[in-house]
Amino acid sequence: MQANWRETQAQHMLGQDESATDLFYKPGAAKEATEKFELFDSSKEDTLLASNIVPNVAPVEQIPHLQAVAPEADAIIARDLKQDYHGLRNIGLGADVVRMTSPGSDRLVFPYRGTEDARLAECTKTNPQAWNDAFHAFPELGKYLSEQDGSKLMRALVRNELHNYDVKDRMGGNKSNHGQVPFDETLGYSQISVDGVKMFELQYPKLKEFLECKGYTGKNHEAQALQDPTCTPMIVAAKLQTEVDALKNSHDKLHSVKPISITWRTLAYTYNSDVYYNPKSSTNPDIHANVIPKAKELEHLRGYEKAYPTSDERVLNKSEHLKNVEQQLAFLR
């Protein structure tokens, strides 16, 4: 019977060479398979400028389901270590295996669980106003977000990365600490890649100057900065600015003649877009989230595309990443 069980499980065994936080293209991967740092190439498309007027979206603190801070649940959705790191998933059921676990055992897989706020506090250890200062370092963010919403969004994005930081992420950090710096590996509390920071520095000299003032120059300085929590606010603010730059000059993927509404929800989704759809069907586009790395390749094989860039509410409502960020907002003051 055990032999049959192993044979059944092997059918759904996925490789270890992909992270759910993959950033840049890998050989043979389709373009839409990128994650947290993905810019839309508007040079080959007709573009529409988005309005500079902040869209009519409720501020974070006014959203009813985010007002009450729910306690951390005793029953935690978790997965067996072998499942997470071989990508084992019951494709037929379309869901991860759910079991009851204690926070202690949960941390075997997600080592930062239960310490998110303490680690988030490390980001402001040397500067209590670090989040606000980072927000104001990129003035264009203020066209779309208030200081309060901008600061909260950045903290929620990082808290979500901390909450879902897993053993594989830690392995990437350990390799970086020993001088083995994979440029597409996402690192640190922001889970942004070395290549991402390099691009940010080219686009925004103020980030390069900031990192230099912190002592991060020369070879591998990007990886070192990513692993310094006090650099996290500025790096995340730069990431949001790249999103604004991309979205304001793009048209909506699902509405070719419609500009994108830039709101905190759109920016949160763009940080790690995870929704796919069938572009060949306008009546039933089958909009759905897909957070399994290997399964994303199957989306492209069947002709589906990533729903990015977009502010379509159908997409935002399906995004698991956005739901996770909204949950993290509830824990922030």
Torsion of CA 139, 144, 147, 150, to 10 degrees: -100
Please tell me the predicted confidence (pLDDT) of residue 62: 58
* Under 8 Å between Cβ of 285 and 312: no
Return d(Cα 200, Cα 282) in angstroms, integer.
36
Residue 93 pLDDT exceeds 80? no
Provide the pLDDT confidence category of residue 175 given band limits of 50, 70 and 90: low
Residue 122 pLDDT exceeds 60? yes
User: Which of 242, 48, 52 has its CA nearest to residue 143?
Assistant: 52
**Lowest-pLDDT range of 65-69, 229-233, 277-281:** 65-69
**Phi and psi at residue 288, to the nearest 5°:** -155, 155
Q: What is the pLDDT of residues 189-200, one digit of tens each?
A: 999 999 999 999
Residue 249 pLDDT exceeds 80? yes
* Under 8 Å between Cβ of 315 and 254: yes
Q: Is the peptide bond before 128 cis (omega within 30 degrees of 0)?
A: no
Please tell me the predicted confidence (pLDDT) of residue 291: 84
Q: Please enumerate, as own/partner, the contacts of 25-33 that have beta carbons within 8 Å and a separation of 24 or more.
A: 26/184, 29/297, 30/297, 30/300, 32/276, 32/296, 32/299, 32/300, 32/305, 32/306, 32/308, 33/293, 33/296, 33/297, 33/300, 33/306
Residue 261 pLDDT exceeds 80? yes
Q: Which residue has the tokens 């009813």?
A: 64
At a CB cut-off of 8 Å and minimum separation 6, what does 230 contact?
122, 123, 124, 125, 126, 127, 130, 214
Please tell me the predicted confidence (pLDDT) of residue 209: 98
Domain segments of the chain: what residues? Answer: 59-329
Please tell me the predicted confidence (pLDDT) of residue 157: 99
Provide the pLDDT confidence category of residue 116 given band limits of 50, 70 and 90: very high
Residue 73 pLDDT exceeds 80? no
Instruction: Kindly state the average pLDDT of the residues 52-65.
Output: 52
Q: What is the pLDDT of residues 310-333, one digit of tens each?
A: 999 999 999 999 999 999 999 998
* Under 8 Å between Cβ of 311 and 266: yes
User: Which of 71, 86, 104 has its CA nearest to residue 10?
Assistant: 86
Q: What is the pLDDT of residues 7-33, one digit of tens each?
A: 544 444 444 344 434 444 444 444 444
Residue 85 pLDDT exceeds 80? no
* Under 8 Å between Cβ of 164 and 327: no
Give me the count of residues in the chain.
333
Please tell me the predicted confidence (pLDDT) of residue 66: 52
Provide the pLDDT confidence category of residue 102 given band limits of 50, 70 and 90: very low
**Lowest-pLDDT range of 15-19, 184-188, 301-305:** 15-19
Provide the pLDDT confidence category of residue 292 given band limits of 50, 70 and 90: confident
Residue 143 pLDDT exceeds 80? yes
- Across the chain, what does the average pLDDT equal? 77
- 50 is written with which tokens? 């988005």
Provide the pLDDT confidence category of residue 109 given band limits of 50, 70 and 90: confident
178 or 80, higher pLDDT = 178
User: Which of 52, 62, 116 has its CA nearest to residue 260?
Assistant: 52
Residue 224 pLDDT exceeds 70? yes
Please tell me the predicted confidence (pLDDT) of residue 20: 37
Instruction: Kindly state the average pLDDT of the residues 101-106.
Output: 55
Return d(Cα 193, Cα 245) in angstroms, integer.
19
**Lowest-pLDDT range of 88-97, 100-109, 150-159:** 88-97
Instruction: Kindly state the average pLDDT of the residues 212-226.
Output: 95
